[in-house]
Amino acid sequence: MIKPIFLLLLYLVIGVWTQAQDVRDATLTIHVEAPADTPPGDSLLVIGNQPVWGYWIYPKSPALKHVAGTTWERTFQLPIGTDIAFKITRGSYYKEALYNNNGHPPPAIEFTLNGDTTVLIAPTAWNDYYQRSITGTVRYHHQFSSTILRHTRNVVVWLPPSYDAQPGKRYPVLYAHDGQNLFDHHPNLSGNEWRMDEVADSLMKADAVEEFIIVAIANSADRWVEYSGTPEGNRYLTFIAEELKPFIDRTYRTKPTRENTAIIGSSMGGLISLYMLWTYPAVFSKAACLSSGFYFDDGDILTALHNDSTPLNNTVIYLDCGGKGLDYDFLPANDAMNSLLSGNLQIKLRYEVFPEDDHNENAWSNRLHIPLKFLFNNEL
């Protein structure tokens, strides 16, 4: 698929402040040259960190004024010294302006308002119009926040084929780490994708698995410590189990019981997936751990499970590992985990080794059908 090349044209023209000292407001003018394919009936709105822009909740400001053609503009009066952060939308995050060549929403436009300022913006596409490689229907929850984690993160929800056609049906849920690498190309890690949407869609349409919802959780700058047996890792697990999952269950037609709640990840994401099962066995009952980083675990879950694996009773666990690259180093710890868990007959366990596979998304994508069929087989 050929994706268009986006160019960002952003200029700040800051006027000289010559007003009397008792005047505290400045004029912010936002001038947008919209993409040519902007729907003629739509309006452009700002979402941002100011009350007039809805405090990032949803665009609540008055629409920009349509000047002519593709030109839109509006002025706002804000106090001098205000820290500005905003984005341009057509009324929701799903219809956010894009400026880059990877299809992902860009960071907010940010600066301090030190005087009368004009911002010239030239988006090159809209999020909902961008030709992504995603198969199926996805819904975006940008900058999802937590009361216990330092960083917000994007959450993308992939809906199974029958979701819209069968409004009375409910679905199991698969929570997945490294969410920006699951559905479409993203310049992260090896820069490839899991193709989780295509794999899940094909399995469901072939009736090889029960239909399920996928909740893709993007990682953050704290990925390394959040995906390990650290205090930050424990807080990340609590965020998923006690903040994100209740939101998903309220917002989508899920089957919320532990028997219908699974988690998946690779590398350090595989490690934290097993931690989730061990820490929240009343919430999650299934985990798929691909090329897991047990080798790098700060919490030493191998020793913990050697001492007591009973929290994993009545769970379904898939483990695997490749044999090349970083997986070559990871393999002994994965073998050890398999041996340890095999001793607990209350665990439904499957372990696979792929000697020719390296440590990357292409390898995980090629074997993804195995854990998905293991976790969501209609007979389970």
pLDDT digits (tens, 9 = 90+) for 52-105: 998 887 667 789 999 998 999 999 999 999 999 999 999 887 788 988 645 566
Structure-token match 């995050």, residue found: 93
The helix/strand/coil state of 238 is: helix
Domains in the chain, ordered, with CATH?
10-126 (2.60.40.10), 137-376 (3.40.50.1820)
Nearest to 292 by CA among 261, 340, 332: 332
Of the CA atoms within 13 Å of residue 219, those in its CB half-sphere come to: 23
User: How many angstroms separate the most distant Cα atoms in the chain?
Assistant: 79
As a whole number of Å, the CA-based R_g of the chain is 24
State the Cα–Cα distance between residues 116 and 244, nearest whole angstrom: 41
pLDDT band at 186 (very low <50, low <70, confident <90, very high): very low
CB neighbour class for 64 (10 Å; exposed up to 12, middle 13-18, buried from 19): buried
Strand, coil or helix: what is 111?
Answer: strand
Q: How far is CA 358 from CA 186, 321, 336, 362, 364, in A?
A: 19, 9, 19, 9, 9
- Across the chain, what does the average pLDDT equal? 88
- Closest among 176, 337, 332, 351 to 264, alpha carbons compared: 176
Contact 380, 372 (CB under 8 A): no
Query: Distance (Å, rounded) from C-alpha 339 to C-alpha 346?
Result: 14
| pLDDT tens digits for range 323-368 | 999 999 999 999 999 999 999 999 999 999 999 999 999 899 999 9
Pair of tokens at residue 379: 């007979």
Q: Is 138 helix (H, G, I), strand (E, B) or coil?
A: strand
* Residue 52 CB-half CA count within 13 A: 16
Residue-wise pLDDT for 204-252, tens only, equals 999 999 999 999 999 999 999 999 999 999 999 999 999 999 999 999 9
Token couple for 59 = 């665009």
